[in-house]
Amino acid sequence: MSLWFKSCKRCFLHRSFLRGGVRCLTVVRNKPEEVRLRAAVNRCCSTFQGEVRVRFAPSPTGFLHLGGLRTALYNYIFSKKYGGVFILRLEDTDQNRLVPGAAESIEDMLEWADIPPDESPRRGGSLGPYLQSQRLDLYHQTAQQLIESGHAYYCFCSLHRLELLKKEALRAGQAPRYDNRCRHLQADQVQEKLAQGVSHVIRFRLEAGVQPFQDLIFGWNRHDVAEVEGDPVVIKADGFPTYHLANIVDDHYMKISHVLRGSEWLISTSKHLLMYQALGWQPPTFGHLPLLMNKDGSKLSKRQGDIFIQSFQRDGVLPEALLDITTNCGSGFNTNRMGRRIDELISEFNPSKITTHSALLDLEKLPEFNRIHLQQRIEDEQQCRNLIKELQDQIQQAYPAEIQDKNVLHEDYIRRVLHFRKGHVSTLKELVSPTYSYLWVRPSFSSQQVAALTAEAHLIASSVLKLVKEQGEELTLEHLSKDLKTLAKQTKTTKYREVMKLLRLALSGLQQGPSVAEMMVSLGPAEINHRFQRLLQLSSTS
């Protein structure tokens, strides 16, 4: 029998396979070969035979940033790849740190990025509500279950005592931890304090001897939490649960099959598994995504305001470019390439390729990604129509009083500009910047400026008008470049450079920007006509 190792398509763990087989085999000792193999297949894959249900569970203590988007994206791709469900759950248990508007905005941003949840606070779903503050009964009920089975207990230690414990530990050079004193209260003492209304929390009893677990990405892991931590609070004095309890309760009742989250939670997973065990629940499979960092390996800080998704949106970054750059710097694909859209990301995704290395994000490459995706949008007729509308708004906002001829707002004119500039610009915003203002606003120039360049302006202007007329409605770069060169040779006293300067002046009023022929193709015959008529007027009077 020949065996080799790869990841199982059903459970995504690295397993041994019978050559040619698609399901994994775990070799079980002491059984005849056949039975042994079949038992192993069932055992490994049985856990994942149900529906794939994954969740993105941010806390609305801030707006969505790139790190969060990346976690949401991998969950989304994973769910779509395996025909599953993607859930957005808002973990708003830390009521003091809630940021107004963040909850709404997180869901808005997922919709904007085109990775919408199937179940969420806004969309609802059969296993909701999806806002933790609306699920308090469930957490209390679970905490009671833990108390009754002896896995949790009431703690009446005052803040003052906890503060003293902390100070003492720090003074002794140790990490502060709760000393588990209230574990030892007698039942009648507890009842008395509860009856007196003494402020309390509920703590989970951490047991030693944590079982190792296999993380989809980081492999075998185990953190003996009881050795380093005091018993953690699961219900706070304000009646709200802490993250650890709420998280496992919701993952259980929302039937989450795979928890894919940032690797900062890897060390908490053993604690979570102890809770699953105490409650007699089957835990989901865990996969911790490596950190997303700056190109130089430094932390991607939320304080750099520019990593918030809203600021990318404001700057004209396309969602697909953001998803593309985020997956390109990470792992999870057989190969990396620029220009992938969400359907391609889904089809090319391979979870067994996610590595433990941090993903180094080079945001300097974002304009390049955006340029590629903008071009793809322009080439798609439906998306191009939306771009035209957007650009019409932006032009009117940028040049409210300067536009002389409303024809520049016409769909066909803008479509031509977009097709002509695709591959050159990264955002629509660029097209309303001063470099491209000539597209929308006719330049103003004086007869003195014309005279300073050449005495043959009249001749040049009429030649241009003639050649444009000859070329008809469809100007092409190739013909124009050739004809302009010929035209420049016909002038007697003006050098080629001066001719081009004059044409630039008439077309854009600027001395930089795209080539003269490119400007002419973008502007089209009608606009060129207007601008050279003006040159004609000024040169006849000069």
For residue 252, how many other CB atoms are within 10 A of its CB? 18
Q: What is the dihedral of CA 171, 268, 89, 113, to 10 degrees?
A: 100
User: At closest approach, how far in Å is the CB of 272 from ligand GLU?
Assistant: 8
Q: Is residue 275 within 8 Å of 244, Cβ to Cβ? A: yes
Which residues in 341-370 contact ligand GLU (CB under 6 A)? none
By CB under 6 A, is residue 91 in contact with ligand GLU? Answer: yes
Which of residues 91 and 320 has its CB atom nearest to ligand GLU in the complex? 91
Three-state DSSP at 287 gives strand
By CB under 6 A, is residue 57 in contact with ligand GLU? Answer: yes
Q: Which of 58, 60, 67, 351 binds ligand GLU (CB under 6 A)?
A: 58
Which of residues 215 and 348 has its CB atom nearest to ligand GLU in the complex? 215
Which of residues 62 and 125 has its CB atom nearest to ligand GLU in the complex? 62
Q: Is residue 121 within 8 Å of 103, Cβ to Cβ? A: yes
User: At closest approach, how far in Å is the CB of 230 from ligand GLU?
Assistant: 21
User: At closest approach, how far in Å is the CB of 68 from ligand GLU?
Assistant: 8
User: At closest approach, how far in Å is the CB of 258 from ligand GLU?
Assistant: 11
User: What are residue 508's phi and psi, to 5 degrees?
Assistant: -130, -15
What are the structure tokens assigned to 503, written together?
């044409």
- Helix or strand run (H / E) with residue 519: helix 516-541
By CB under 6 A, is residue 77 in contact with ligand GLU? Answer: no
Q: Is residue 222 within 8 Å of 211, Cβ to Cβ? A: yes
User: At closest approach, how far in Å is the CB of 58 from ligand GLU?
Assistant: 5
Q: Which of 40, 59, 130, 245 binds ligand GLU (CB under 6 A)?
A: 59
Which of residues 39 and 131 has its CB atom nearest to ligand GLU in the complex? 131
Q: Is residue 84 within 8 Å of 51, Cβ to Cβ? A: yes
Instruction: Find tokens 């979570």 and name the residue.
Output: 272
Distance of CA 422 to the CA centre of its chain: 24
CA distances from 212 to 220, 274, 354, 506 (A): 6, 11, 21, 75
Pattern 263-282, ligand GLU, x by CB under 6 A = --x-----------------
User: At closest approach, how far in Å is the CB of 289 from ligand GLU?
Assistant: 10
User: At closest approach, how far in Å is the CB of 152 from ligand GLU?
Assistant: 20
Distance of CA 371 to the CA centre of its chain: 17
Which of residues 103 and 395 has its CB atom nearest to ligand GLU in the complex? 103
Residue type, 510: L
By CB under 6 A, is residue 234 in contact with ligand GLU? Answer: no
Pattern 179-218, ligand GLU, x by CB under 6 A = ----------------------------------------
Q: Report d(CA 269, CA 271) in Å as an integer.
A: 5
By CB under 6 A, is residue 73 in contact with ligand GLU? Answer: no
| Nearest one of 404, 67, 31, 128 to 264, comparing CA atoms | 67
User: At closest approach, how far in Å is the CB of 293 from ligand GLU?
Assistant: 17
Q: Is residue 206 within 8 Å of 158, Cβ to Cβ? A: no
Which of residues 101 and 434 has its CB atom nearest to ligand GLU in the complex? 101
Q: Which stretch binds ligand GLU (CB under 6 A): 30-38, 54-62, 281-289, 392-400?
A: 54-62
CA distances from 262 to 18, 370, 408, 432 (A): 33, 26, 48, 39
CA distances from 277 to 229, 402, 436, 455 (A): 18, 70, 64, 92
Q: Which stretch binds ligand GLU (CB under 6 A): 45-53, 56-64, 425-433, 521-529?
A: 56-64
Which of residues 178 and 243 has its CB atom nearest to ligand GLU in the complex? 243
Number of residues that bind ligand GLU (CB under 6 A): 8
What secondary structure, in 3-state letters, does 230-248 show? Answer: CCCEEECCCCCECHHHHHH
By CB under 6 A, is residue 324 in contact with ligand GLU? Answer: no
By CB under 6 A, is residue 92 in contact with ligand GLU? Answer: no
What are the structure tokens assigned to 32, written together?
């005849």
Q: Where are the alpha helices (DSSP H) in 243-358?
A: 243-253, 269-279, 309-314, 319-328, 342-348
Q: Which of 151, 223, 261, 458 binds ligand GLU (CB under 6 A)?
A: 261
Three-state DSSP at 88 gives strand
Which of residues 213 and 243 has its CB atom nearest to ligand GLU in the complex? 243
Q: Which stretch binds ligand GLU (CB under 6 A): 52-60, 302-310, 456-464, 523-531?
A: 52-60
User: At closest approach, how far in Å is the CB of 247 from ligand GLU?
Assistant: 5
User: What are residue 44's phi and psi, to 5 degrees?
Assistant: -70, -40
Q: Which of 105, 242, 247, 327 binds ligand GLU (CB under 6 A)?
A: 247
Task: Catalog residues that contact ligand GLU under the rule CB under 6 A.
Answer: 57-59, 91, 243, 247, 261, 265
